A and B are shown apart, each in its own frame.
Chain A
Amino acid sequence: MSRVLVMVGTQKGAFFCWSDEARGSWRVEGPLLKGWEVNDLQLDLRGGEPVVWAAVGHHVYGATVQHSRDLGRTWTQVENGPRYAEDAGRTLERVWTVVPGRQDEPEVLWAGVAEAGLFESRDGGESWREVPGLNEHPTRPSWSPGAGGLCAHTVLLDPADDRRMWVGISAVGVFRSDDGGETWQVKNDGLPIAAPDKDHPEVGSCVHKMVVAPDRPSRLYQQNHQGVLRSDDGGDTWERIENGLPSRFGFPIALHPADSRTLYVLPLESEEYRFFPGGRMTVYRSRDGGDSWQPLTAGLPADGYTGVLRNAMAVDGLGPCGIYFGTTGGQLFASHDEGESWQAMPGLLPRIASVTAAVLP
């Protein structure tokens, strides 16, 4: 029987939640990486043996990448991790995400960081280099940080075209490369621009989280600071898909692993308040690619005056798929029936920054 692992990154460490395919009960391990902010955890199965990559940081001691080859028991910090050049005038404030490369390139990893930039490793994480085509993009002088800083938080690889990838940067927008990361184009056509820049009015869209459909890679969805949007042409153009949502504002967005028309968002009550509207914790699901939305509340609290951060919702690969999200109040919720019903998972954790789910043989 397969094992289900939900990896939770919090402000003060990581917690690994284990279950079986039924996902009825959970065993929680942690805190792992005790005391460190864990912004992302990714399971890498490309090399055969599982490796967990962690985007780790601390408000005093800064950001690094760590990895575990024993499913969280021990961790090793990467020695030559992402780091700006001494004379770059930039600071590595946070590693937002560590993304394993494609199946046929097991030594490749990508890291999205703040202050905004993309780093690449081609030696299994031993050393990292900047991706200059993005980090020195001609629009860079017009990149301005939002409330959460200037962060490159989302890195997506096209599942069909091994030269294409996307990066999402808060308060800047979407960038796409069609040549393996050498050159990048702004892909904000149709996205709301918060404050158009006089030199580069095409940047300034605050993408909060973005996903690509594994079975239809021309289709992207994003939760933006100013709405929920869909692209059917790889990001060339975007259209709003907010019909039925109580708010345009939110952070995470998650996609069903086998159905590019089923997706999940967690609308919050405006940028000013950032908790569930009226405290009614609600997941919204669309079965038609965002044309309409259905509220899902069974098992969720009606007094949930909390929020969910951008990396804190995930789906597993089982059928029916499981969905998981963690709140800024430290609670985890799970559904193992595609969102029809929800259960609180055990534990009251520190502020939850990330949730990822994986199925292990």
Chain B
Amino acid sequence: MEVPVTLPSLLANCTGGERDVVVEATTLRGALDALLAAYPLLRPHVVTEAGRLREHVNLFLNDQNVRWFDDWGIDLSPGDTLTVIQAVSGG
């Protein structure tokens, strides 16, 4: 299943200038893995050395922040979209 992913403009240098990309995946975890496999330059910007989301990076599945999901293995549905976005932090 094709999953659209939207990235912040600051990271477009990691995807050949594209803010909107598409990955093939059936689960949330699979989509993140596919994104980082397809665009390896994104990896240090999105996840830590230990593979967790960076502290101030949010990943939204549609309008839900996946940071609060217990299970990233959940199935995706047609029409689902992912968005990588900077957390609102600081002043």
Pick the residue among A61, A83, A84 that contacts B54 (CB under 8 A).
A61
Q: CB of A60 within 8 A of chain B?
A: yes
Q: How far is the CB of A166 from chain B (nearest CB, A)?
A: 27
Question: Quick one: given A36-B10, A77-B13, A79-B41, are A59 and B56 in contact (CB under 8 Å)?
Answer: yes
**Quick check: which of A88-96, A142-150, A272-280, A346-354 contacts chain B, the rest being far away?**
A88-96
CB-based contact A91/B10 at 8 Å? no
User: Which single residue of chain B is at the shortest CB-CB distance from A63?
Assistant: B44
Question: Quick one: given A58-B10, A59-B56, are A92 and B49 in contact (CB under 8 Å)?
Answer: yes
CB-based contact A64/B45 at 8 Å? yes
CB-based contact B49/A88 at 8 Å? yes
Pick the residue among A36, A61, A79, A85 that contacts B49 (CB under 8 A).
A85
Residues of B within 8 A of A81 (CB): 44
Number of A-B contacts (CB under 8 A): 48
Question: Quick one: given A79-B40, A86-B50, A86-B51, are A62 and B10 in contact (CB under 8 Å)?
Answer: no
Interface size of A by CB at 8 A reads: 22
Q: How far is the CB of B87 from chain A (nearest CB, A)?
A: 7
Question: Quick one: given A75-B13, A86-B51, are A62 and B45 in contact (CB under 8 Å)?
Answer: yes
Question: Quick one: given A35-B10, A36-B10, A77-B14, are A64 and B44 in contact (CB under 8 Å)?
Answer: yes
Q: A61-B8, A79-B41 are in contact. List 18 more A-B contacts (CB 8 A).
A: A59-B56, A60-B54, A60-B57, A60-B89, A61-B46, A62-B54, A64-B41, A64-B44, A77-B13, A77-B41, A79-B40, A81-B44, A83-B49, A86-B49, A86-B51, A87-B50, A91-B49, A92-B49
Lowest 4 CB-CB distances: which A-B pairs, in order? A61-B45, A60-B56, A60-B86, A84-B49
Could you tell me which B residues sit within 8 Å of A by CB distance?
8-11, 13-14, 40-41, 44-46, 48-51, 54, 56-57, 86-87, 89
Could you tell me which A residues sit within 8 Å of B by CB distance?
35-36, 58-64, 75, 77, 79, 81, 83-88, 90-92
- 28 A-B pairs with C-beta separation under 8 A: A58-B10, A59-B56, A60-B56, A60-B57, A60-B87, A61-B11, A61-B46, A61-B54, A62-B44, A62-B45, A62-B54, A63-B44, A64-B41, A64-B44, A64-B45, A75-B13, A77-B14, A77-B41, A79-B40, A81-B44, A83-B44, A83-B49, A84-B49, A86-B49, A86-B50, A87-B50, A88-B49, A92-B44
